[in-house]
Structure formats: structure tokens, C-alpha cells
Amino acid sequence: MSEQKVYPVPANIAANAHVDAATYEAMYRRSVDDPEGFWGEYAEQFVSWFKPWDSVLNYSYQADDLHIEWFKGATLNVTYNCLDRHLETRGDQVAIIWEGDDPNEDRSITYRALHDEVCRLANALKARGVEKGDRVCIYLPMVPEAAVAMLACARIGAVHSIVFGGFSSDSLRDRVLDSECKVVITSDESVRGGRHIPLKRNADTALQECPNVDTVVVVSRTGGAVEWVEGRDIWYHEAIAAADATCEPVEMDAEDPLFILYTSGSTGKPKGVLHTTGGYLLYAAMTHKYTFDYQDGEVYWCTADVGWVTGHTYIVYGPLANGATSLMFEGIPNYPDMSRFWQVVDKHQVNIFYTAPTAIRSLMRAGEEPVKQTSRKSLRILGSVGEPINPEAWEWYYHVVGEERCPIVDTWWQTETGGHLITPLPGATALKPGSATRPFFGVVPALVDPADGTPIEGAGEGALVITRPWPGQMRTVYGDHQRFIDTYFKQYPGYYFSGDGARRDADGDYWITGRIDDVLNVSGHRLGTAEIESALVLHPHVAEAAVVGYPHDVKGQGIYAYVTPMAGVEPTDALKKELVSLVRGEIGPIAIVDLIQWSPSLPKTRSGKIMRRILRKIAANEIDSLGDTSTLADPTVVNELIDGRLNR
Ligand code: PRX
């Protein structure tokens, strides 16, 4: 079996790593046997606190008493940790290298310069009435101002809610309203692959329905034309120029909110995942240092967008807490050409590179030539995140990109988990292509039978749950604590349920098999089938819609929609086009429906529930293994759908 392929830890990496195999075993054991001692010790090492805690951990995973509190009673400020404490020793070190979409554009920002700008923006926000606990929405492209905006909020205790710049104005509106933001920080335009996207215009449209937003801060990215609302809109550069560069960090309780980030679930609208201050920062810093074996002075590059959790934890908070040099990239992997990632690696002498399998797969398709044109000698560690990496892509990443020199850390985690939960450590873990391998310190995963929750011991496959808290865990769904409990703690009582399935092999290594709920992972972007279905049924000609994922060579999963038109409506290709653009407009360009199958009726149980299991099988072209269809109200529907299937 291919899983038997094992790449041992390179001796030179192990010799200099923060953690080798023996250290991992000892630290992991301690983290499980004595969690309070373990986390207390590392909390002192990684984080500077204003006031110490009364207790390391209070929690209950029981649905009727659910609570999770880390470092209760302690106070700190995240920006003191990410900026102030570095000034004396590394004030002139580069904190953020910004590489523009255009290869001729870049900037380097030192810790001192970043500190200065964060304080100014924090003061500018205060001048507009932003106070501790207020929510600020950030709708920006990948520009340094995005990091400044996050940190400026954290400086004064405001809670940021970043909305990915690729989301539509409707998605932005829904998120601004749900988290009751009073300020939005955006830019005139964003630039990707040479194309300009009118962010300010999207924001203006969204804000027509958000009466509580009284301030819009606008970053001038391109100088493109914008409409201006007097009294509401202010230019970022004018605001920071006018503001004072001294701003004391607000003392925050460890459990005060740091940010909200929306993510899709199986049902309903995206939910606002809420992370708090102390535990999150500790977990971000610790995972960044150990998972990537970050060594002082190295250049580290995570290609994610700050609009996703990966950008929060592994472009901004983790690296800056550790005093790292973090590269921020505005562009895309194939612009101006397929070598871009590796050109950037050479240009900035990147040592650690962290990207998504979908990017690897699309680059792999273009062959080895664009990679081989570059040196990549600076690379030491490679990382993968966002979806299962297929062994073929893993091997290509390892052999072609890393020239068999760089360990790959395949990091499994989620928006909800704040940081890595299952991942190799470069100096400690033998690698198996496609396996996320072992739990991080303090993380105790388990597999349970999806049907009845019975724990699975030893080698086996099941629903992936976590049996106790770790400091980076989300604390609630903003404004809906019950939803937090219902989504994660009801199905398998006493456990946090991830929504993923996994296999554990005889060595104890984990292999993530993907979502086992109604969540899709399209090019590493998480989308709920329910959201896409709600968009489809907005069309007056659509009676009903059911959406499933199907295997896609580059995107990992593609979106397959079964649509029932209203009686009397002619199902045409023109209507299909309208539906594709409707979904895109409602959610954003990450939600492109790949295939639409007209379905006069959908397979339902006698109680009217759509049997998605069957729809998934037909979409995957696995029609020989449909399973039991006898409980369907009308089993003949299935044959009709099979005959009309689009993925053959
Ligand atoms: O299904 C898992 C997949 O991405 C989901 C989380 O998505 P999101 O909250 O958007 O966060 C993405 C970045 C952390 C998970 O439930 N996933 C993430 N990383 C991996 C993965 N699946 C397999 N292997 C991974 N390394």
C-alpha cells in the first residue's frame, strides 16, 4: 500500500530542530498527562502578560454546561506581544515583506515602522469613536494595511471581522450586519493577476443596507476612481498622517474576544467563529514555531489570504508574536507566469513556504520546467494546508519543488481550531505522503463510529473528534452560543466534532479523508451546500435545488447542482448560465457551480428528506455503489438521474 512509503526525518534537520523525535514524545506525553503544568510553562515562555492567571484551564465539553476558559484572570495585549516587545532587540528587522501582484512592486516594513503605523491607525479609529469591544470589519486585499488594521484593532481592544476580498457585496453585507460592525476598512480596488476589482464599490453597495456603519476607512491601493460619502468615508493615508504615533496597548482579559471570522457550516448562513486573546495568541505562536521549526532570522511565507484563518494565524499573529519575517503576497501563482511562486522564493530568499494543495496541483499540471528555471536553494521546510493533499501532489511538491531536501508539514486544522491540530514536526516526524500524521502538543484526537459514536481503538476509520480543549479553540459563535453547542458538541457527547472523517493506521498516524457533513472544500475554500442551494432557489424559475461535491482534479472538489425547474419552465443553457452567475453574485467568485443537472425530481425519503448520499454517488460517477435505495418514496427517480449524469 502507498501509505507504507515513509520518508524519515533528515538528519541535518533533526540535529538543529527545536523539537526532535525524542523531544516530541516527551513533550507530548507531558502535555497530555499534566496539561495545566505544560500550558502554564509555555504560556510564560511564549507570551508576555501584564497580569498572571488565576487558573490555566476551566472547561466542560458537556452540552448543558459548555464552557472553555484558558488563563482566566490574566491580562495581555496581542500587539504588545507582536510589536512592542520586539522593538528593543529587532526594531530594525523586517517584520513584513510585501510582494505585489506586479513583480516590480514590493515593500519591506520593519517592526518599528509597523509599530508606528499600527499606533497611528489605532488612534485614528479611536478618534472615530471605536472603543474596546466594538466590531470593525476589514475588507481588504493582500496589502500590509490589512495586517496594520488587524493589529490596530487589537491594540485598542476592538474585535476585527475580516471578510475575504473575493466575497460579494451581499456576503459582506450579511457579515457586517451579523457582527454589528460600526466601521469598515477597505480599499479603492484590489489587484490580482493584473486585474483590478472594485472593492470600495462592493462595500458601498453592501453598506446601503448597514445603517450602523458610520465610518469607512479607504486605503488607496490603485488610485482608481471611487465614490465618496462625505462624513462617513476617510482616506487611510490621511487618517494615519494626522494621528499620533503613541498609543498605549489596552489591557485585555485573556478571554476577551480578539476576532470574529465567518465560516460555512452544514446548515444555514455562515457563522461567526469567535476567538479570544490569550489562548489563541499562545497557540498561534507555539504552532508557528514548532510546526515550521521557525529559526530566528528566517524568511517565512504563507501564501494564504488574510481573509482566511490561515492568514490570521500564520501570516500575522503567529509569526509576529515570534518576531519572524513574514512575507505577504498580493498576487496569484500563475501571474505573470507559472514560475511566480518560485521567483518570489528566490527574490526574497524564502526559507519556509506554506501553501495549499490546490495550488500545487495546478502548478503540477504545467510541468517541471517553470519550477526548474528557479533556484529554490533557500527553501528548508514546505507546508500544506486547506484540504487533503493527494499523494501524487505531495510527491511532486517533495521531489520537484523541494528537491527531496525539505520536509513537508501537512497541517490539519480549521477556522474553529485557531491553529494546527494534527501535523508533522520537521525534526521529529517521519513523513507519509497524504498523512497529517500526529497530534500537536496537548491535542487528543479520537475516532468514533459515525453512526453511534462508539470509540474506535487502534487502526480504523471514523468521525474525527477531539476529546479536550487546546488554547486556540474557538469559544463561541458570535451572537449564537447555542449554535456553537449544537454544531460541535451535540452529535458525539463529550467531544468536539470536527466535521471531518479520518483513518488511523497501525502506526497511529492520521489520514484525513475530508468532510463528512454537508460542507464542500473547493480549492481549499470552505462552502456550505445550504448556502449555494439558498442562492439557487432565489431564481424565480427554480423550484428546488440540491448541491453536492464531486472529485475535481485541480479544485479537490467541484460543485454539482441538481436543479428542479418550476413547472412549465424550459430548462435551457441560458438558464444554467444565469444560475451560475446568480450564485457567484450572491456568494462571490469562489462559488462557481461547475455542473448543473436538470432534475425533474430529487430522491427523497417518505418523510421528504433529500437523500444526499445518492446524489453524491451519482455526481462522483460511482453508480455501482449507490447503496440501499428502498427507503425512497419513488426509487425510479434515481435511474432518471443516473441517465442524465454529467460527470462520466
Ligand atoms: O476538511 C478539513 C480541511 O479544511 C477544513 C477546514 O476549513 P477552514 O475552516 O476553511 O480552514 C482551512 C485552513 C485551516 C477541515 O475541516 N482541511 C484543512 N487542512 C487540511 C484539511 N484536510 C486535510 N488535510 C489538511 N491538512
Give dist(CA 429, CA 9) in Å, integer. Answer: 6
**Which of 264, 288, 387, 529 is the best mutation target for the ligand 1 pocket, counting ligand atoms within 8 Å of the beta carbon and taking the most?**
387
pLDDT at 360 > cutoff 70: yes
* Predicted pLDDT at 2: 47
Please work out whether the CB of residue 519 comes within 6 Å of at least one atom of ligand 1. Answer: no
Please work out whether the CB of residue 271 comes within 6 Å of at least one atom of ligand 1. Answer: no
pLDDT at 161 > cutoff 70: yes
Please work out whether the CB of residue 515 comes within 6 Å of at least one atom of ligand 1. Answer: yes
Give dist(CA 419, CA 472) in Å, integer. Answer: 6
Confidence of residue 630 (pLDDT cuts 50, 70, 90): confident
Q: Give nearest CA residue, ligand 1 atom 14.
A: 414
523 marked as binding residue: yes
Give the percent of the chain with pLDDT over 90: 96
Confidence of residue 100 (pLDDT cuts 50, 70, 90): very high
ipTM summary value: 0.99
Please work out whether the CB of residue 305 comes within 6 Å of at least one atom of ligand 1. Answer: no
Q: What is the mean pLDDT of the chain?
A: 97
pLDDT tens-digit series, residues 45-72: 999 999 999 999 999 999 999 999 999 9
pLDDT at 270 > cutoff 60: yes
DSSP E strands in 149-232: the ranges are 159-162, 181-187, 190-192, 195-197, 215-219
Distance from Cα 411 to the centre of ligand 1, integer Å: 8
* Predicted pLDDT at 395: 98
Contact 428, 20 (CB under 8 A): yes
pLDDT at 3 > cutoff 80: no
Please work out whether the CB of residue 512 comes within 6 Å of at least one atom of ligand 1. Answer: yes
- Atom nearest to 499 CA in ligand 1: 16
Spatial neighbors of 322 by CB under 8 A, at least 6 apart, are 285, 288, 289, 294
For 173, 232, 307, the CA distances from 178, given in Å and listed in that order, are 8, 20, 17
Distance from Cα 414 to the centre of ligand 1, integer Å: 5
Distance from Cα 356 to the centre of ligand 1, integer Å: 10
Per the structure block, which three cell numbers stand in for 186?
477597505
**Which of 271, 302, 389, 413 is the best mutation target for the ligand 1 pocket, counting ligand atoms within 8 Å of the beta carbon and taking the most?**
413
The model's pTM: 0.97
* Predicted pLDDT at 1: 45
Hey, CA dihedral for 432, 433, 434, 438, is it positive or negative? positive
- Atom nearest to 423 CA in ligand 1: 26
Distance from Cα 48 to the centre of ligand 1, integer Å: 30
Distance from Cα 385 to the centre of ligand 1, integer Å: 7
pLDDT at 480 > cutoff 80: yes
* Predicted pLDDT at 607: 86
Report the chain's C-alpha Rg in angstroms: 24
Of 109, 107, 94, 112, nearest to 325 by C-alpha is 94
Hey, CA dihedral for 362, 367, 373, 377, is it positive or negative? positive
Of 628, 624, 600, 626, nearest to 615 by C-alpha is 626
pLDDT at 213 > cutoff 80: yes
What letter would DSSP give residue 278? Answer: H
Please work out whether the CB of residue 412 comes within 6 Å of at least one atom of ligand 1. Answer: yes
For 191, 252, 312, the CA distances from 477, given in Å and listed in that order, are 32, 20, 18
